[in-house]
Amino acid sequence: MADQQSSRAELGKVLVVIPTYNERENLGPIVKRLNEALPSVHALVVDDGSPDGTGQLADEMAAADERVHVLHRTEKAGLGAAYIAGFGWALEHGYDVVVEMDADGSHAPEDLPRLLDALSDADLVLGSRYVPGGKVVNWPKRREVLSRGGNIYSKLALGAKVNDITGGFRAYRHEVLEKIRLDNVASQGYCFQIDLAWRTIEAGFEVVEVPITFVERQVGVSKMSGNIVREALWRVTKWGVRRRLEQLGLRRR
C-alpha cells in the first residue's frame, strides 16, 4: 500500500474533470466519494449552464473546498467540447495527470486508485468494462449490445488493440494532451472517447486497460442519442478507410 501511494505521489498533481448538465443531485455524492477515495486529488466541474442549478451548487462546493474548481460554460455544447475546455484548464494550471469521469455515478471513484497505479507504466489508462474483471451493472441489454458492438467495430476498423475504446473513465498524462491535437477535435459523445484514444495510439503513446465496474445511473437522464451513435459510426468508418489507404500507400499520413 505504501509503495502504491508513493507511486501515485510521483505522478504529480491529479485533476479529475467532471462535465455536468443537470446533475445537481449526483454532483455532491460523487465528489464526496472522490475525496474519500483519493483525498489529494482535485476536481474540476465543467458545467454547461445547467438550468437545474448544478453550476451554483458547484460554486458552493468550490467555496467550501479548495480541491474543487468550477468552469462555467454558457451553453450545452456537448461532452467533447466540455472535456476539451477542461483539459485546457488543467494544462494551464499545471496538472500532471488529467482524469475523465462522469458525474452520474456510473464511474466509481473507488476504482480510480487502480487507474493511477497503472499510469506508472503507461501514458493513457482506460477504465475498461470489457477486459477480465470488468463488468456492467444494471444496464439495459440494448445499451450493452450497442456498446459492445461499437467497440468491436472500432477495434476492427482501426486495428486498435483496445477492448473498450468508447469508455469515458480514463487517465491521461499531461504529455499526451499536449502532443495530440485538441484544437481540431470535433467529435462528440462516445465518439470523442474513440477519437482521443485513437490519436493517443497513433502518436505512439503507451495505452493500457484496467478493469472497472460500470453502473447505470440511478438519478437523472442519459445523454445518449441516435445522433451520437450515427456520428460515431460515420467517423470511425472514415478513420478506418483512411488508415487502410495509408497502409496501401495510397494516402500520406
Query: What are the structural domain ranges in the chain?
Result: 2-247
For residue 8, what pLDDT is reported? 74
Identify which of 174, 153, 166, 165 has the alpha carbon closest to the alpha carbon of residue 224: 166
- Asked if 97 contacts 12 with a C-beta cutoff of 8 angstroms, the reply is yes
Domain 2-247: give its CATH architecture.
Alpha-Beta Complex (3.90)
Q: pLDDT (tens digit, 9 = 90+) per residue, 40-94? A: 999 999 999 999 999 999 999 999 999 999 999 987 778 899 999 999 999 999 9
Count the residues in the chain.
253
C-alpha cell at 44: 474540476
DSSP for residue 159: -
Which three three-digit cell numbers place residue 214? 460500470
136-172 tens-digit pLDDT: 999 889 989 989 999 999 999 998 999 999 999 999 9
| Predicted confidence band of residue 248 (pLDDT cuts 50, 70, 90) | confident
pLDDT (0 to 100) of residue 237? 84
SS3 59: helix
Task: Label residue 97 by pLDDT band (50, 70, 90).
Answer: very high
Report yes or no: 83 and 100 within 8 Å, Cβ to Cβ: yes
> What is the side-by-side strand order in the sheet with 42-47?
68-72, 42-47, 14-20, 97-100, 170-173, 124-128, 207-211
What are 197-210's pLDDT values in tens digits? Answer: 999 999 999 999 99
For position 78, what pLDDT does the model report? 83
pLDDT of residue 155: 92
3-state secondary structure of 46: strand
Residue partners of 195: CB distance under 8 A and separation at least 6: 80, 185, 187, 235
Read off the pTM: 0.90
Cα-Cα-Cα-Cα torsion 31, 35, 41, 43, nearest 10 degrees, comes to: 10
